[in-house]
Structure 1
């Protein structure tokens, strides 16, 4: 298990910051956002919380739904996205 150096654990990357290189926007850490995974175990979407935290009870909950294909690189401490406005959906829950 220790032989493959390109393996990343969710417990490690949850502390990585999400950065969109398309517009320079920072989206907090993966820990404060969510992933949508399909029945086959494939990542489908990043759900980015625009409210700045999971426990903000008194405001409208706004999120960005970013397709996993927009993830360009998972670096040492960041997850680099290249997401145009035409592929990002703004949703309220």
Structure 2
């Protein structure tokens, strides 16, 4: 393993921050990674909370962030550059 390689067990506690609006999205372990059939990371599915009435069944909303939107994985943060969060919302049933 090279010095610059990182283990998922290490980066799962890294906080995700968007440089466009300085919004924090919590740690990576709170979100899902979408991986293609070849084992390549394709997207981070950011969990944006629940939508709907709290007394009835609610659905979770996600935003699909392309893996190439990750600009830097630092010592404790993952920096993304993505400005269409609201336009890329998904329901939990989609993926």
Give matches, 1:13-92, under 5 Å.
13-51=11-49, 59-85=58-84, 89-92=88-91
| TM-score, normalised with respect to structure 1 | 0.84
| TM-score, normalised with respect to structure 2 | 0.82
User: Displaced runs of 4+ in structure 1, greater than 3 A?
Assistant: none
CA-atom RMSD, angstroms? 1.9
Report deviation, 1:59.
3.1
Aligned residues: 86
Structure that is richer in strand per residue: 2
Q: Secondary structure at the match of 2:59?
A: coil
Q: Which runs of 5+ in 2 are unaligned?
A: 51-56
Q: Secondary structure at the match of 1:49?
A: strand
Q: Which runs of 5+ in 1 are unaligned?
A: 53-57
